[in-house]
Amino acid sequence: MRASFNVLHDPWIPIVDMKGERRELGVLDTLRHAHELRAVSDASPMAEYSVYRFLIVLLMDALRPEELEDLAGLFEEGRFDAEKLNEYVETCEKEGVSFDLFDEENPFMQTPIVPEWDRKTKPAAVLDYAVPSGNNHLHFDHQVEREAYSAAKSMRMMLAAQMFCTSAAQSYPSNVNGAPPWFVLIDGDNLFETLVLNMVYIDQIRIAFDEPPVIWRNTGTVESKRKVAQTSWLYGMIFPARRIHLVSGEDGTVTEVYLSQGMNYVDPANWQDPHVVYIVNDKGKFNWKPAADFSVWQNLASLINTRYQCAPQTLANYRELHTYGVVRLTMYAVATSQASYLQSARIDLRLPLEVVGDENAEEFITSYTQTAKVLSKTVSSALKYKEIPEVVRRSAVREYYTFVEQTLFELLNRLSVIRDGYSDLLREAEEQLLSELARCTQEKLSELTLRGRALVDTAELRQKEINSARKFIRRKWENG
């Protein structure tokens, strides 16, 4: 007997409701009751964001808001129109779309098996980026190689495998963002608000919206390694950089998959992702890639920069509709090294809305972070003595950066109410950075058992570096 799993009705989306209770729902129940649910919630940040993105893309295809006012009107309605959702499903099904993961002819969001490209099956674990497989060493794990995955988890893994695939590693193609960037979502008071706040309107999209159509309505062949320089918004949001086909048993579990090279998006500069932060420098404009330590403060100026379209489009839209308050953001990332997955992260931020799009705030953050980076080198050099282990210097820099980040987010609240420039606040902040430099280096030295000449030399070196840092700050203000 053939297994069946309909993503519209069978439970696979992990949600938490307003009471904090967790369960899984199908697509239609999730959307019909989104106003009564708190959020999508998965242990994997990659799976969680990928589910959000899938729902947002489906809603964009179904509801097609043309202008910002359409999004505002949808938000005011407070819930999704079940009738419109049903009409969308009917339209898709009339076109031949099957929402069954294990449909014999057209399994949902999967490629048909083509012997030329799909030579043999692989363990289903290759889709689970939280499990070591081949070059994937995200965590150490003793799981059985042929572990059986539920249809629900297989659907989530399949989405994440497309969204967070590595870029051009071992000849595997890249998706629209290249290596996975930071993804940013605005957090509403319930799931309905979160989904609407992270949609965009069609008039602001600079490329074709639905030609080609979204992946589940697209009848074209996903050609292995085919180069693509530009695509539609709907197709690009879930771009098939991997060919995936689930192999199910009669019980509906998945132990094997076909996984091979999909299409290759060759020019990420042609793609403006609505959930991504962009960085502008002398070399051009690039999406923000996570570093191994997942620090976000170093590029906070880009996150709030709406002038050069660096901020996510969704955040810029939110700022147009709201003038004050706090905007809650959730950021998702995975650090990769070629084909290896190192670590994933989910980070919550709260920003005063007044700083978003504010040039003074952007200049303040830029100056503060530049000074902080310079002084971090002083932290290291102040402890660069032959008898001080490298691990001590690294620990000092980490502690210093923790202080820098915490202080910056505290300063944003004060910055949001400043109307006459920020010079005084910046001077005060940089004095705090100098004080922390002195404190953390002294603390590290006091933890060591240095004696005699080593004790004198390290103290002199530390003071010399601190004095140089003070001169740097003084010259900066004299020349500014």
Tens digits of residue pLDDT in 390-411:
999 999 999 999 999 999 999 9
Report the candidate in 384, 392, 393, 379 with the shortest Cα–Cα distance to residue 438.
379
Own/partner long-range contacts of 192-197 (Cβ < 8 Å, ≥24 apart): 192/34, 192/35, 192/37, 192/78, 192/79, 192/80, 193/35, 193/75, 194/39, 194/52, 195/31, 195/34, 195/52, 195/55, 195/56, 195/59, 196/59, 196/71, 196/74, 196/75, 197/75, 197/314, 197/318
Q: What is the DSSP string of 60-119?
A: HHHH---SHHHHHHHHHH-S--HHHHHHHHHHHHHTT---BTT-SSS-TT-PPP-TTT--
294: tokens are 């997942």
Apex CA 374: angle with CA 373 and CA 377, to 5°? 90
The domains of the chain are located at 13-332, 359-479
> What's the chain's average pLDDT?
91
Report the SS3 class of residue 452.
helix
pLDDT at residue number 130 = 67
Q: How far apart are CA 108 and CA 189, in angstroms?
A: 31
User: Which residues are registered as beta bridge partners of 243?
Assistant: 260
Reported as type and span, the H/E element at residue 379 is helix 359-382
pLDDT at residue number 469 = 94
Using the structure block, give the residue that is written with the tokens 């660069």.
Answer: 384
Residue spans of the chain under pLDDT 50: 132-144
Q: Give counts: helices (H), strands (E), the chain.
A: 13, 13
199: tokens are 């949609």
Residue type, 463: Q
CB atoms within 10 A of CB 361: 24
Q: How many residues does the chain have?
A: 480
Reported as type and span, the H/E element at residue 381 is helix 359-382
CB atoms within 10 A of CB 282: 4
pLDDT at residue number 455 = 86
Cβ within 8 Å of residue 209, ≥6 positions away:
64, 202, 232, 233, 234
Write b or e for each residue in 389-405: b if 16 or more Cβ atoms lie within 10 A of its Cβ, otherwise e: eeeebeebbebbbebbb
What distance, in Å, lies between the first and last C-alpha atoms of the chain? 76
Q: How far is CA 420 from the centre of its chain?
A: 35
Q: How far apart are CA 301 and CA 256, in angstroms?
A: 45
Tens digits of residue pLDDT in 339-378:
667 788 999 999 999 999 999 999 999 999 999 999 999 9
pLDDT at residue number 140 = 36
